[in-house]
Chain A
Amino acid sequence: DGGITQSPKYLFRKEGQNVTLSCEQNLNHDAMYWYRQDPGQGLRLIYYSQIVNDFQKGDIAEGYSVSREKKESFPLTVTSAQKNPTAFYLCASSIRGPGNTGELFFGEGSRLTVL
């Protein structure tokens, strides 16, 4: 079954802990993205990657880190430096950059709650 898989679906962490959200795709897409979704704020771009071993900061990268060691994987680490980490996180991918078709394929999301 092709698509984007995010895990875990729900995650709880204590303040001061780092946590890593997984995003895997088997669509053979070059580009991958992480968005944060908060009520009333829409989707805000955290990081994106156009190609393996390369990534760029989005609009709200502070307190987050990513890696792109494999084409199919783009994990997001929410560090203790992120001041307001409780949110819904969405991973997406596209064939190349979105400028080609504008179509991003999204995962089901991961809800992180900091206790």
Chain B
Amino acid sequence: AQRVTQPEKLLSVFKGAPVELKCNYSYSGSPELFWYVQYSRQRLQLLLRHISRESIKGFTADLNKGETSFHLKKPFAQEEDSAMYYCALIPAGFQKLVFGTGTRLLVSP
């Protein structure tokens, strides 16, 4: 079965510090991976997808198939990055998104 694991429930950093939100997945095939974000009092929304190899709001994520990981990174955290972050995958051939348990990022001034 497909599973997405986010080991940290809460990650607290100071403004300007590097951030890494961990995501590991278990899936035998080649999944598509995504990061979703939910800011306070806003809807859950897509942050980035691994196939685009994009950087959004300074965040990047690299798919490591050997370690089955898709960690989200930002070199210098900002207070406005405080939010709930969810890692998600689409198993190949399926039409559904499987989410992890989420990590709350708190960036303090």
Say whether A43 contacts B43, CB under 8 Å.
no
Please tell me if the beta carbons of B90 and A99 are within 8 angstroms of each other in the complex: yes
Give the residues in chain A near B102, CB-CB below 8 Å. 42-43
Structural contact, B95 and A99, CB atoms closer than 8 A: yes
Q: Mark A22-42, 1 if CB is under 8 A from B, else 0.
A: 000000000101010000111
**Interface residue total, chain A, C-beta cutoff 8 A:** 26
B55 to chain A minimum Cβ distance, whole angstroms, is 17
The segment from A10-18, A72-80, A102-110 that touches chain B is A102-110
Instruction: Give min CB distance, B93 to chain A, whole Å.
Output: 8
**Could you tell me if A40 and B95 are in contact, using CB atoms closer than 8 angstroms?**
no
Q: How far is the CA of A90 from the CA of B86 in the complex (A)?
A: 14
A106 near B101 (CB under 8 angstroms)?
A: no
Q: Is B11 an interface position by the 8 A CB rule?
A: no
| Complex: A50 Cα to B96 Cα, angstroms | 10
Bound-complex Cα distance A64 to B100 (A): 22
Cα–Cα distance between A50 and B90 once the two chains are bound (Å): 15
Q: How many residues of B contact A (CB 8 A)?
A: 24
Tell me whether A8 is interfacial, beta carbon within 8 Å. no
The 0/1 profile, CB within 8 Å of A marked 1, for residues 67-109 of chain B is 0000000000000000000101010001111111110000000
Among candidates B9, B36, B43, B45, residue contacting A40 with C-beta atoms closer than 8 Å: B9
B34 at the interface (CB under 8 A from A): yes
Question: A43-B86, A90-B44 given as contacts; is B97 within 8 A of A104 (CB)?
Answer: yes
Contact A42 B99 (CB under 8 A): yes
Is there a chain A Cβ closer than 8 Å to B54's Cβ? no
B45 and A45: CB pair below 8 A?
no
What residues make up the interface of B, taking CB atoms closer than 8 Å to A?
A: 4, 6, 9, 32, 34, 36, 43-46, 49, 51, 86, 88, 90, 94-102
Q: What residues make up the interface of A, taking CB atoms closer than 8 Å to B?
A: 31, 33, 35, 40-45, 48, 50, 56, 58, 90, 92, 97-99, 101-108
